Amino acid sequence: MNKVNKNLLEFLKREPYSKLRSIAKYDINSLIRALNWAAANEILEAFYELGLDKTLSRPRSTMEVAFEHYIVEVDFLREILISLVKLGILDEAAGRFKIRFFKRKIKKPEIVDIFSKTPLRAVFEVIKLMGESIVDLLLTGKPELDWIKDAAIAFEPLEFSPQMVRLRLVACDFAYRYISNVLKIENKREPLILITGLASGFGIVNVAQYFRNIDSTIVAVDPSEREVNLARELLEEFNLSVDIEICDILKNLAKIPYINKTISDKGHFSLAMAFERWRFFDDVQRSQILTNLAYCLAVYGSLVDLSFTKNQAMILNTLLYTIKGWRGYLDINEKRRLFGLVFQRLKERNNKIIVKADMPLVRGLWL
């Protein structure tokens, strides 16, 4: 872990990230707890503003509550009610909800004020802005923020938080420790690394930091022109160099000239790393991306995914539901199912046969 800490300190030496040094001692759980409090507080404010505490003085179903309060966005209402059950505000049985006790506020963790004194305050301001639109969204069904254009940009400070930087560096550390041993057994000289998802540029910077003095080849792709431009600027700022291309990761990556040339010259990738891409895609698209990555990986290759699970950020997800197109993070069972697909595809490619027909066999889409 010395290398992780060294790279983190190097990251925090640069402006404006040096302003985050004071919160570097806190772990990712502290950050999630602070964000969850902020989101949950906004949900509770909307709950009382609508008068749902009086409506739920006796058990009511989601549809009964929606009908009584003229709520259009019923799915979002159910998300809110379920989150309030998680918070201990409501009881739920057989799809009916009832208020447990009168609780106007949730105790604020001290960590919120500490984080709010750093550039991360922007994230809390966005959560508050989103919270102010909850009632309007419920009554009209029209979200004010668009994920791609507005909210994704507003949440970018999370990507350069010390907590997220450390997580990415730790992921690189674990991945390299494992794959370096595998490469020795396979008699391979250097790791060939494929990155999908640039985490607003900070993800690829952290990977490049970690592998800077290691004989390796890093190839990065992302479907967003904005993300790629941010990444290139940040790499230049940190005096790092990585080949990055804009490409549709839903298509067959192995057939993209940029990727194909790398595979032809150096073989299949020994390591693929995906940063925070799942929130932009539905389950079918997620399966498709993993299939594409599988066909780029060597048989001995490894796939590392770094994203929050739904269980870790439940309340925050509920508030983010106000953003157009939000899908939520994967829970652990979804991850197991999707990642099992990678190993299946690797077996198929190695044996040049379809071992298990568990997905549509449409060559243009899947292969």
Whole-structure pTM value: 0.86
Please give the domain boundaries of the chain with CATH numbers for all domains.
25-144 (1.10.10.10), 164-312+328-366 (3.40.50.150)
User: Sign of dihedral through CA atoms 202, 323, 143, 31?
Assistant: negative
- What average pLDDT does the chain have? 85
| Residue that the structure tokens 């990678």 belong to | 342
- Taking only the tens place, the pLDDT of each residue in 2-28 is 899 999 999 999 989 999 999 999 998
Q: Residue 124's closest CA among 80, 81, 169, 161?
A: 161
Q: Are 319 and 42 in contact (CB under 8 A)?
A: yes
pLDDT at 160: 93
d(C-alpha 69, C-alpha 22), whole Å: 45
State both tokens at 276: 């925070």
More reliable by pLDDT, 318 or 229: 229
d(C-alpha 49, C-alpha 104), whole Å: 11
Highest mean pLDDT among 253-262, 336-345, 346-355: 253-262
- Taking only the tens place, the pLDDT of each residue in 254-299 is 888 888 888 888 889 999 998 876 767 777 888 888 888 888 888 8
Q: Pairing between strand 269-275 and 192-196?
A: parallel
pLDDT at 55: 94
Percent of residues, the chain, with pLDDT higher than 70: 88
Q: Are 261 and 291 in contact (CB under 8 A)?
A: no
With bands split at pLDDT 50, 70 and 90, how would you rate the model's confidence at 365? very low
d(C-alpha 134, C-alpha 257), whole Å: 45
Least trusted range by pLDDT, from 60-74, 158-172, 308-322: 308-322
pLDDT at 119: 92
d(C-alpha 3, C-alpha 152), whole Å: 30
